[in-house]
Structure 1
Amino acid sequence: MPAAPPQVSRRVAKRYLLADEQVVVSTRWHWAKMVRPAAAVVVGLFLTLWVAASVTDPAATGVALCVLAVVIAWAAWQVLEWRCEWFIATDRRLLKTYGLITQRVAMMPLVKVTDMSYDRTILGRMLGYGRFVMESAGQDQALSHIDYIPEPDEKYQAMCETIFGRDNRDPGEDEERRDDHDDRYADPTGPQGRVTRSRGTDSRWEPVDRRDLPRDWDWVDEEARGGRAATRRRVAVDPDPTPLR
């Protein structure tokens, strides 16, 4: 069965995503990020109960209760921030939304990502989360380390396919391949040229026989410049480039 499309918050999708963007990965941080606030509340509650049971001074008990209230408030703030944070990878860019009062968005185009490493600690393998480390030329610190990613194996594969897939090759690579394709048909020797420019607005190179061309076409020498040294080839030029109807 095909995998279900990633689910993203309507608020995030409406504010930050373009209409024609395809979401590849969309997730909140793993619940393991809340282990530290939960542990702080448990420790604070234990210490408060210990102070209340062992100290008879009401002032000490009041101070312990105040400290516990502060810890609970901090933990609640962490939970609310966790619910507002999203990591989204589309077919164009990487986004990270965070901040409860002041909302921030960190963004990195996919074309700037030069490498992505994937780490899983022992605790991460036990609880089911991982960390992505992004490397780029103009690196955004907010997106350099993406930690607490749930189901990291599937998300890592999806992101690698999107970032380093065939559809995201360097344009220079395609240009070099086109030059190789053109030079393959170049035959500067002999009366029968083997390269011609097709008629009309379409400018493809096609192998032809000189005898099959109209008599009013002219043969000229043209330099083919690419990533290598310049070469010369015989090409046929239509004297009337008006598109055929």
Structure 2
Amino acid sequence: MVIALLLHVAQWVTSWISTALAQARGGVGACSDLVTDFGVDPDAVEIIDRAPFGFVCQASTYDGGTAMIEHSGATSAMFITSAGFAALGSAVLLGVLLAFTVTRLLASARSPRGDGGVDRWALLLIGIGVFVLPLMMIGQHLQWYAKSDGFGICPESVSGNDVLGFSVTADYLPPSLTCSGDTVTGQEFSVTQYGFPFYGFLAGLVVAAVGLALLIIVRVRSRRRKGAEV
């Protein structure tokens, strides 16, 4: 979270500096691509501050329209990176809180005559399993973001017919990506892909289940031992 905050501050500073330099150079020097690509009047070029995303070069064209080119530079990359760190930090924080809450609740009911070492290992497994789940939710969102264009998921043709349109949706329980659409003949299709968030989610559930089963076994043995002593 601290890294995300620092990157966001750096994004604002970078945007202010780039805009100030562009304004110092003037519209012709800073927006030469606008003049070259659209053939606008160099004296009509206007530099608009779009902090924290750099600046925009804008000018009226000879046919009465408006042309503009965004100059975000490194600010866009900084924003994406800071947002990623913020999301990761939030997922880690949620995972820690969930793991702490679950393990503390289970530990509060621990038998005083139970095997403390086994109990600790069981609680550790449960904590690790619960901690992984929010991370896989973030991983699923990143996977959807990376493959929302359908590449690697959606087929180019179905039953020999070209795909006309499609959409990619993300499911989170369990994590998976589904490409749905239709072909040029109107045939509907749906393809589901499971990636690392799905298997990581299942692994977290398995680890937590193993820890819970181990904890139950320890508690049952402890109660039986206590009953036999009585």
User: Does the TM-score normalized on the shorter chain lie above 0.5?
Assistant: no
> Which protein is bigger by CA-based radius of gyration?
1
**TM-score w.r.t. length of structure 2:** 0.28
Higher strand proportion: 1
Higher helix proportion: 2
**TM-score w.r.t. length of structure 1:** 0.27
